[in-house]
């Protein structure tokens, strides 16, 4: 496949000093421990120069930093001629002030921290930077002579078949290993210590997987369709994504109302494409105008765009962080807590905002990005002739949280989970494609069927596995009958991030899509060993009986026992009963 009319490809080699690469003789099962030993070896055996250590994530950085500080006193007693080690973490969620320390000379840092008294005369301090892959290509740190490469990285990848993002430690590619090695030769000759064997390096993939094959395609496909590319299956991608990713993206866009049953973009979908947002958040923003809360939702969407860097948590100040943020807490969870943070920030004088952010562990830089995003969204909505002045503030108690979370539920209706008897949560629904080959979706030959997850016939899906609240969420260790979340992240468990508690009734009254025509919740209360079922939605009757019937799978096609093609089966146990929801909707 050729692009750019056969334009010639030129390779321009950058300036790089000689870098000596050293491998381990044996595999290292504990890369953190191996990195600790390598750092001390460099400090005691090699000439002066700062050390850059590549680790997968924040947890490994904090663990290694603690170990270095623990053993440093004994090291100073044994090697008086050596200076002290100054540890500088560097990762995306770190505050800008802490990140800036990694770029200062070691002497300046030692002077700021009052170090140097334990070292012998003439001893030079050495800076040890513990970084994720943000230092791989994004920044160049002066003074680096030694690189310690763990060979690992945390890669976020979207799995369309299960609808979650995984954030797990994986082996890097050969191209990433070369980039890390190059950090040691930017200013002078250096040494790269690879904590894996040379034979393992050869087995690494040549290049990192392209981003289009690792992320959700809803944004890209919506804008392709809005630009007039009707057949996204035959579009010439530079790196073609998997068919499952395209299918999942089209199903999501259909559920959001951006595509019709024929797979063509709707008028509402074009309106969504006019907003510089992920389609889910574009749907939330447009739904807020119908619910009368665009002011709050614009602020919330702007906050969610900078969520990862807005509230940094220094690893040595966790208790102070929790105490400072308690004043912003909201009983409904994380979304309204973010709104409380922004409102408190707006009430502070501009001259005092820097100190306020420092005292409350809020990133001033990220807050500036939030305000700029808010301004751009208001401007874009003004071009679309949408009135952004309406607000839910000033109504009766509880009305604001209901309308704001109701608008969020209009776009996040697929991100709903219900509490189980053991305190975990179970995803309310998954998506099952049936009846036609997946390749025909988007050409008018397939409509999605929304099916809830308790049926054992469904595809293996993480939705059927327990979901746990992320420890950083306000809802952690709380018991809400239902939750709505921004994303699922698979690490050691399947964690929900960006969580708010919802009322189960909102599934019927707030979801403004085809799903709302049939969604109902049957609440079961365990009383003296008996379960009482209550139907909250109007059922479809057949011979005077509601269509609360099970479906059967015949081959690859789902058939329903009710002629209307609409089936509903719900079971929610609250309190002593187990909580699980099943909803089936066929078009």
Per-residue model confidence as pLDDT tens digits over 409-428:
989 888 889 888 888 898 77
**Cβ partners under 8 Å of residue 424, min gap 6:** 466, 467, 468
The CA distances from residue 198 to 19, 144, 169, 433, 555, in Å, are 16, 23, 20, 45, 49
Task: Provide the angle, in degrees to the nearest 10, between the axes of the packed helices 334-346 and 353-360.
Answer: 150
For residue 459, the Cα-to-chain-centroid distance in whole angstroms is 24
Q: Which residue has the tokens 């939030």?
A: 370
- The angle at the Cα of 164, spanning 513 to 283, to the nearest 5 degrees, equals 30
Distance CA 106, CA 98 (A): 14
Q: How many residues in total does the chain contain?
A: 587
> HEC profile for 327-379?
HHCCCCEHHHHHHHHHHHHHCCCHHHHHHHHHHHCCCHHHHHHHHHHHHHHHH
Long-range contacts of 444-449 (CB under 8 A, 24+ apart): 444/261, 444/262, 444/263, 444/264, 446/263, 447/254, 447/261, 447/587, 448/251, 448/254, 448/255, 448/587, 449/558, 449/584, 449/585, 449/586, 449/587
Q: Rounded to whole angstroms, how far apart are CA atoms 521 and 508?
A: 8
Q: What is the dihedral of CA 9, 14, 19, 24, to 10 degrees?
A: -40
Class of CATH domain 19-209:
alpha beta
Confirm if 32 and 63 have CB atoms less than 8 A apart.
Answer: yes
Contact 213, 241 (CB under 8 A): yes
3-state secondary structure of 117: coil
To the nearest 10 degrees (0 to 180), the angle between helices 31-45 and 58-78 is 40
Secondary structure of residue 71 in the 3-state scheme: helix
| Per-residue model confidence (pLDDT) at position 478 | 86
Cα dihedral sign for 475, 479, 481, 487? Answer: positive
The DSSP 8-state label assigned to residue 423 in this structure reads S
* pLDDT score of 73: 76
Q: What is the pLDDT of residue 12?
A: 80
125-161 b/e (C-beta count within 10 Å ≥ 16 → b):
bbbbbbbbbebbeeeebebbbbbbbbbbbbbebbbbb
- Name the nearest CA neighbour of 209 among 173, 235, 160: 173
- pLDDT value at position 398? 57
Which CATH number does 214-401 carry?
A: 1.20.120.1080
Task: Give the up-direction half-sphere exposure of residue 501: CA atoms within 13 A in the CB hemisphere.
Answer: 13
Residue located via tokens 């030692």:
110
Strand duo 425-427 + 416-419: pairing: antiparallel
Tokens 């997946």 -> residue? 438
For residue 124, what pLDDT is reported? Answer: 80
pLDDT at 81: 55
Give the residue extent of every domain in the chain: 19-209, 214-401, 412-585
Q: Any idea what DSSP says for residue 300?
A: H
Q: What is the pTM of this model?
A: 0.74
Weakly modelled stretches of the chain, pLDDT under 50: 117, 396, 430-463, 513-587
Dump strand ranges (E) for 404-563: 416-419, 425-427, 429-432, 449-452, 466-469, 482-490, 494-502, 523-527, 530-532, 541-542, 545-546, 552-554, 557-559
d(CA 223, CA 218): 9
Cα distances from 194 to residues 201, 276, 294, 316, 465, in angstroms, run 9, 41, 52, 29, 37
The dihedral region occupied by 235, where left means phi > 0, alpha psi between -120 and 50, and beta the remainder, is beta
**CATH topology match: 19-209 vs 214-401:** no
Q: Which residue has the tokens 């381990």?
A: 24
């Amino acid at each position: 496949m050729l692009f750019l009319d056969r334009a010639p490809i030129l390779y321009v080699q950058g300036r790089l000093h000689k870098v000596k690469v050293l491998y381990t003789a044996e595999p290292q099962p504990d890369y953190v421990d191996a990195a600790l030993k390598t750092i001390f070896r460099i400090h005691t055996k090699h000439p002066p120069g700062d050390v850059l250590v590549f680790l997968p994530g924040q947890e490994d950085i904090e663990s290694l930093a603690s170990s270095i500080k623990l053993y440093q006193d004994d090291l100073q007693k044994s090697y008086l001629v050596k200076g002290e080690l100054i540890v500088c973490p560097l990762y995306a969620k770190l505050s800008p002030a802490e990140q800036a320390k990694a770029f200062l000379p070691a002497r300046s840092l030692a002077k700021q921290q009052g170090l140097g008294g334990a070292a012998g005369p003439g001893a030079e301090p050495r800076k040890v930077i513990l970084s994720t892959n943000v230092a791989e290509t994004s920044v160049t740190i002066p003074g680096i002579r030694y690189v310690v490469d763990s060979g690992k990285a945390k890669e976020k990848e979207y799995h369309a078949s299960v609808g979650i993002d995984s954030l797990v430690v994986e082996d890097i590619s050969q191209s990433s290993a070369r980039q890390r090695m190059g950090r040691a030769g930017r200013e002078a000759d250096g040494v790269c210590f690879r904590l894996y064997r040379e034979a393992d390096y050869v087995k690494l993939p040549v290049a990192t997987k392209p981003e289009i094959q690792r992320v959700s395609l809803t944004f890209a496909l919506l804008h392709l369709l809005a630009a007039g590319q009707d057949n996204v299956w035959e579009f010439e991608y530079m790196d073609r994504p998997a068919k499952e990713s395209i299918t999942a993206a089209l199903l999501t866009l259909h559920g959001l109302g951006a595509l019709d049953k024929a797979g063509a973009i709707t008028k509402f979908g074009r309106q969504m494409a006019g907003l510089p947002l992920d389609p889910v958040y574009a749907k939330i923003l447009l739904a807020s105008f119908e619910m009368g809360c665009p002011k709050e939702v614009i602020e919330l969407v702007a906050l969610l765009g900078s969520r990862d860097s807005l509230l940094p948590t220094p690893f040595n100040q966790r208790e102070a962080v929790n105490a400072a943020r308690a004043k912003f807490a909201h009983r409904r969870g994380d979304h309204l807590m973010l709104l409380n943070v922004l409102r408190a920030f707006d009430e502070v004088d501009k001259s005092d905002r820097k100190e306020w952010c420092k005292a409350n562990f809020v990133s001033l830089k990220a807050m500036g990005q939030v305000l700029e995003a808010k301004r751009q969204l208001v401007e874009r909505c003004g071009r679309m002739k949408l009135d952004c002045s309406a607000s839910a503030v000033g109504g009766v108690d509880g009305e604001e949280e209901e309308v704001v979370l109701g608008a969020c539920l209009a776009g996040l209706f697929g991100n709903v989970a219900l509490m189980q008897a053991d305190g975990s949560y179970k995803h309310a629904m998954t998506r099952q494609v049936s009846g036609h080959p997946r390749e025909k979706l988007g050409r008018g030959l397939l409509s999605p069927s929304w099916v809830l997850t308790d049926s054992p016939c469904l595809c293996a899906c993480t939705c059927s596995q327990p979901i746990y609240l992320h420890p950083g969420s306000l809802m952690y260790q709380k018991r809400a009958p239902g939750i709505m979340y921004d994303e699922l992240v698979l690490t050691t468990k399947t964690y929900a991030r960006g969580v708010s508690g919802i009322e189960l009734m909102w599934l019927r009254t707030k979801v403004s899509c085809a799903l709302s025509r049939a969604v109902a919740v049957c609440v079961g209360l365990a009383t003296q060993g008996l379960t009482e079922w209550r139907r909250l939605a109007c059922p479809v009757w057949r011979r005077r009986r509601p269509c609360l019937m099970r479906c059967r799978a015949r081959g690859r096609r789902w058939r329903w026992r009710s002629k209307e093609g609409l089936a509903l089966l719900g079971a929610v146990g609250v309190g002593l009963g187990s909580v699980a929801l099943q909803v089936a909707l066929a078009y």
